[in-house]
Amino acid sequence: MSNISPLKFTPILKSVLWGGSRISSFKGIAPSNSLIGETWEISGLEGFETAIAEGEFKGITISELLKQKGEQIMGTRLFEQYGTHFPLLIKFIDAAQDLSIQVHPNDEVAKVRHNCSGKTELWYMLNSQKSAIIYSGFKTPTTLEEFKNHVENNTLTDVLACFTPKRGDVFYLPAGRIHSIGAGNLLLEIQQTSDITYRVYDYNRTDFNGKKRELHTELAIETIDYQVHDEYCIHPEPLIDQEIEINNCNYFATTLLKIKNSCKINIADKDSFRIIVITSGKGNLTDNFGNNIALKQGDVLLVPATTEWVDISSSNGNAIEVITTYVP
C-alpha cells in the first residue's frame, strides 16, 4: 500500500469586485493588496488547478498528481468514475459586499450547455457580522411569471428566504436553488468541480471598468427550483472527540468534529479520499503510515484513499474544530 502523506496545496487567490481582506488573517497568510473574495484551496478545474505546496510532489498540480497516482489518491471506485478529474472544489469565501443573486445548473443542463458538471454546494459559516444575511431558496411559492416580474421590478428579494447566519450554520444548496451571500459573511464552501453561475440580479452594480456585469436570467429560469422547502439552514451541535455527519448527498458527504483530546477517523472504509479543513484551533494529524503534520486554522489537506486512518489531536488542551468531506 502506497505511503502518500496527506497533501497541502498552495491556494489560488481570487480578486473580485465584492472581495475583502479577512481570508488572509483567518488563514494566517500575508495580506494581499487586492480584494480577495475567494481562495481556491483544492481545485482540479481546468486552468485553475492547485499545486501541491510541499513534500515529494511539491509543485505539481492535482491533475498531474492524478495522472501519476490517481487510483491511490481517489480510490478504485472514484478513479473508475472520474478518472483524473478531481470531483470537488474547496473554497474560503469572504464577502465584503453582497454577491449577486444567482443559481447553478444541474449535471444534465450543464453537460448540454457547457460540457461540464453541474454545481451543488454547501456552506459552513465561519464568521458573520451582525448585519450579514444569506438568501437561500424561496419563502413563498413562486411561479415562473411571478419570478420574471420580480426580477423586472427589482423586488426579487421580497420572495426569497432570508437568514441572519451565525457561526456553525450550514446551508446546503443543491443545483437549482437560488441563493446569495450577503456582505459580512466569511465561510467555507464545498462544491462540485464547476464554475458555472447564472447571475439573476446584481443590484445594478458596475465592475472595475464601470460596466454592469452580465446577467443570465434567461438561462437561469429553466434551472431554478421554484418550490418552497422546509430546511434551508441547520445548526449542527458537535460531539466532543466524535465525528458527526452534517450532510450527505450524491456528490459529497460532510462531517464535523470538535476535538479536545483526539479522534481517529477511518479513511479506508469509504473507498474515497478525505478532505480535512481546520476551521479553528491548532493540533496535529498522524496516520497509519506514521506521517505527522502540524495543523492550524485555515489549513486544508487531502488525505489519499490508500490511508487507513488518521488521528487528529488538539494542542495545549484547546479544542480544534474540523470539517471533513468525501465522495460517498
Output the pLDDT for position 33.
78
Distance, CA of 206 to CA of 218 (rounded, Å): 20
pLDDT of 99 higher than 90: yes
Output the pLDDT for position 31.
81
What grid cell was written down for 313? 489531536
Domain range list for the chain: 7-234, 243-326
Beta carbons of 38 and 14 less than 8 angstroms apart: yes
Mean pLDDT of the chain: 95
CATH code, residues 243-326: 2.60.120.10
Average pLDDT over residues 280-304: 98
Output the pLDDT for position 266.
97
pLDDT digits (tens, 9 = 90+) for 110-154: 999 999 999 999 999 999 999 999 999 999 999 999 999 999 999
Output the pLDDT for position 209.
78
Output the pLDDT for position 213.
82
pLDDT of 1 higher than 70: no
pLDDT digits (tens, 9 = 90+) for 175-211: 999 999 999 999 999 999 999 999 999 888 877 777 8
Distance, CA of 96 to CA of 65 (rounded, Å): 35
pLDDT of 303 higher than 60: yes
Active site residues: 199
Beta carbons of 181 and 95 less than 8 angstroms apart: yes
Residue 4: how many other CB atoms lie within 10 Å: 22
Instruction: Match domain 7-234 to its CATH number in 3.40.50.720, 2.60.40.10, 1.50.10.20, 2.60.120.10.
Output: 2.60.120.10
Output the pLDDT for position 200.
95
Output the pLDDT for position 38.
97
The model's confidence at residue 41, banded by pLDDT at 50, 70 and 90, is very high
The model's confidence at residue 87, banded by pLDDT at 50, 70 and 90, is very high
Q: State if pTM tops 0.85.
A: yes
Secondary structure (3-state) at 75 = coil
Distance, CA of 191 to CA of 262 (rounded, Å): 28
pLDDT digits (tens, 9 = 90+) for 218-253: 999 999 999 999 999 999 999 999 999 999 999 999
Domain pair 7-234 / 243-326, same fold:
yes
